[in-house]
Amino acid sequence: MPHNVSLISTIAAGFGLAIVFGFLASRLKMPPLVGYLLAGIAIGPATPGFVADIDLAGQLAEIGVMLLMFGVGLHFSMKDLLAVKRIAVPGAIVQIAVATALGFGLSNWWGWSLGGALVFGLALSVASTVVLLRALEARGQLETANGSIAVGWLVVEDLVMVLVLVLLPPLAGLLEGKSEAHLLATVGWTLAKVAAFIVLMLVVGRRVFPRLLFAVAGTGSRELFTLCVVAVAVGVAYGSAALFDVSFALGAFFAGMMMRESEYSHRAADESLPLRDAFSVLFFVSVGMLFDPQVLLDEPLKVLAVVAIIVIGKTLAAIALVLAFRYPLNTALTVGASLAQIGEFSFILAGLGVAEGLLPKEGQSLILAGALISIALNSVLFTAIEPVKAWVLRRSSWARRMEQRDDPLAELPMSTDQTKLEGQVVLVGYGRVGKQIADGLLAEGVHLVVAEQQRELVESLRLRQIAAVSGDASDPAVLIQAHIARAALLVISGGDSLQARQMVETAHLLNPSIRVLLRAYSEDEAALLRQAGLGEVFVAEQCLATHLTQRVLAAMGSAASKPAH
């Protein structure tokens, strides 16, 4: 060819092999992300055959990081984080400390420098947002109490890592053991620039970006809207790096957060999703290109030790922390499985550590190996949650005591008005849908008992003098505490079909005449619930269509009744 086509060949090879390996990984019940990493290994310099341009791949990966973090910002809700702050904030910070200490101790034993050991430990401490969200979505757990805790926990981890990425470059000299005469001034200046950027985004970006999106949406041009979203993500990320010396990741994250203030934020997320996914694939491919498979042969024990920290150490630490906050075993296992992998922030941190001369190349390869193996094992861990829970409860009297321990939120207070526990509605789940149902019933003076897994919500309901119990309503003890035997109606606003079946069985056993209303997330799930005869089933789209149809008919009727002029 007469001209240089390295960019085209890199993209073509990356996408081509990513679809092949991603498809194979999916067929093997593993996340496609494992396939993308393998595709990068295949076209990397460490394997024979075609070698893609690693410098170009690195720049494409930076765009992937920008769009990835922009998407995280678009979905970041301070309100959602505050709802689980009592467990997510201390839990994430302690778990990061534990995992970092394990990684630090291991690499220090290997003889690495202070800075290299610290970067290595931090890289092992943070889980992948992409892997977690996709795992929860695939299992219908994203909007459950367990899912909210896991996502909130990970958001705190991400925020801590953003701070680490900001502080690592100015602190690199100190970590290397070099004397930095102006270290405090350097760190102070860095934090001042970051603070200036954040203030600018909160004060100016919060007002400008939503208005810009509104103005572009008004043109009716879909491509202009998509272009606006991508331009803001990449432009703010680049501008923040050029003007304030903050990372592309932080700039893009804040751009997404400010864009979330717009009424068009959901459309922005949908429109940018294909491009975000495409460049995210290139990000993982480029990460795979940096991996040297030889480390699996040269240092198998080190790889096993890294995987053990990620899969066993982090998981056990998370489970212990969740149980310490008096959450049930199922929640502890779900959060533990959610965090038993590492991903995009680990790769970014490892790359920065190598660039700053702190982390040896071997450390980067070990982190990539740990990521590959832990991501591949993650779906297995999620599948094992229920069998492990059943096995532990069967074999361990301590676990059974933990499940049955006295919990002030797991039973109604003695002061509860008993007249409100006769013919009441038992509402399972106080999420977005459950809250609207509860508000509507309370406005009409209907007596109500809420069963909700999220302890913070139960506490807030009790402060409002609303009867509520904490726990998984598929456990008969929770419905018994909600006085299901004397209830007139059971409303299940969340959870999966298996949990719904268990709740209905308990309700009918204790109260054969009770009426049951259930919410389904899809037509297929609704068909299964109806076939099982569990109760009246409602699907969000159907309810919306029915309500809109009724309003249209009412409007048409009123229009027809008006006399013609």
List residues bridging with 469 in a β-sheet.
451
User: Could you give phi then psi for residue 53, rounded to 5 degrees?
Assistant: -75, 105
* Mean pLDDT score of the chain: 80
Report for 82-86, 306-310, 445-449: range of highest mean pLDDT: 306-310
Q: What is the pLDDT of residue 306?
A: 92
Among 276-290, 352-366, 395-409, 458-472, the minimum mean pLDDT is found in 395-409
Kindly report the number of other CB atoms within 10 A of residue 384's CB atom: 14
∠ CA 547-141-343, nearest 5°, is: 130
Among 19-33, 123-137, 166-180, 274-288, the minimum mean pLDDT is found in 166-180
> Which structure tokens are listed for 344?
């995009």
Q: Is the pLDDT at 417 greater than 50, yes or no?
A: yes
Rounded Cα gap, residues 158 and 360, in angstroms: 24
- Comparing 505 with 398, the larger pLDDT belongs to 505
CB distance 479 to 419 below 8 Å: no
Percentage of the residues of the chain whose pLDDT score is greater than 90 = 6
Rounded Cα gap, residues 180 and 186, in angstroms: 9
E strands along 418-529, which residues? Answer: 425-428, 448-452, 467-470, 489-492, 515-520
Kindly report the number of other CB atoms within 10 A of residue 270's CB atom: 13
Q: Is the pLDDT at 465 greater than 80, yes or no?
A: yes
List residues bridging with 183 in a β-sheet.
none
Confidence of residue 234 (pLDDT cuts 50, 70, 90): confident
Q: What is the pLDDT of residue 436?
A: 87
- Comparing 286 with 110, the larger pLDDT belongs to 110
Residue type for position 364: Q
Kindly report the number of other CB atoms within 10 A of residue 51's CB atom: 15
Confidence of residue 408 (pLDDT cuts 50, 70, 90): low
Q: What is the pLDDT of residue 129?
A: 72
Q: What is the pLDDT of residue 7?
A: 79
Crossing angle of helices 361-383/114-125, nearest 10°? 20
Say how far residue 271 (Cα) sits from the centre of its chain. 20
Q: What is the pLDDT of residue 380?
A: 78
Whose tokens are 């509402």? That residue is: 427
Q: What is the pLDDT of residue 309?
A: 93
Mean per-residue pLDDT for 366-378?
Answer: 85
Give the strands of the sheet with 536-539, arranged side by side: 467-470, 448-452, 425-428, 489-492, 515-520, 536-539
pLDDT digits (tens, 9 = 90+) for 14-58: 889 999 998 998 888 777 878 888 898 888 887 887 777 777 777
Q: Is the pLDDT at 179 greater than 50, yes or no?
A: no
Q: What is the pLDDT of residue 102?
A: 92
CB distance 448 to 512 below 8 Å: no
Three-state DSSP class for 491? strand
Mean per-residue pLDDT for 531-550?
Answer: 80
Nearest to 537 by CA among 546, 528, 545: 528
Q: Is the pLDDT at 318 greater than 80, yes or no?
A: yes
Mean per-residue pLDDT for 486-512?
Answer: 84
Q: What is the pLDDT of residue 560?
A: 57
Mean per-residue pLDDT for 311-329?
Answer: 85
Q: What is the pLDDT of residue 177?
A: 47
List residues bridging with 449 in a β-sheet.
426, 467
Q: Is the pLDDT at 187 greater than 60, yes or no?
A: yes
- Comparing 265 with 403, the larger pLDDT belongs to 265
- Sign of the CA dihedral with 549 first, then 550, 554, and 555 last: negative
The radius of gyration of the chain's CA atoms, rounded to the nearest angstrom, is: 26
Mean per-residue pLDDT for 241-247?
Answer: 77
Name every residue whose Cβ is closer than 8 Å to that of residue 434 and which is 6 or more positions away in sequence. Answer: 427, 428, 450, 452, 493, 494
The H helix count followed by the E strand count for the chain is 27, 6
pTM for the model:
0.68
> Which structure tokens are listed for 561?
């009744």
Mean per-residue pLDDT for 504-522?
Answer: 86
Domains annotated for the chain, with CATH where assigned, are: 6-391 (1.20.1530.20), 418-555 (3.40.50.720)
Q: Is the pLDDT at 407 greater than 60, yes or no?
A: no
Q: Is the pLDDT at 63 greater than 70, yes or no?
A: yes
Name every residue whose Cβ is closer than 8 Å to that of residue 471 and which is 6 or more positions away in sequence. Answer: 328, 407, 410, 451, 453, 477, 478, 481
Q: What is the pLDDT of residue 86?
A: 79
Q: Is the pLDDT at 280 greater than 90, yes or no?
A: no
pLDDT digits (tens, 9 = 90+) for 80-111: 667 677 788 888 899 899 999 999 999 989 98
User: Could you give phi then psi for residue 421, rounded to 5 degrees?
Assistant: -110, 35
Confidence of residue 401 (pLDDT cuts 50, 70, 90): low
Residue type for position 559: A
Report for 266-270, 287-291, 457-461: range of highest mean pLDDT: 457-461
Kindly report the number of other CB atoms within 10 A of residue 481's CB atom: 20
Mean per-residue pLDDT for 176-191?
Answer: 63
Percentage of the residues of the chain whose pLDDT score is greater than 70 = 88
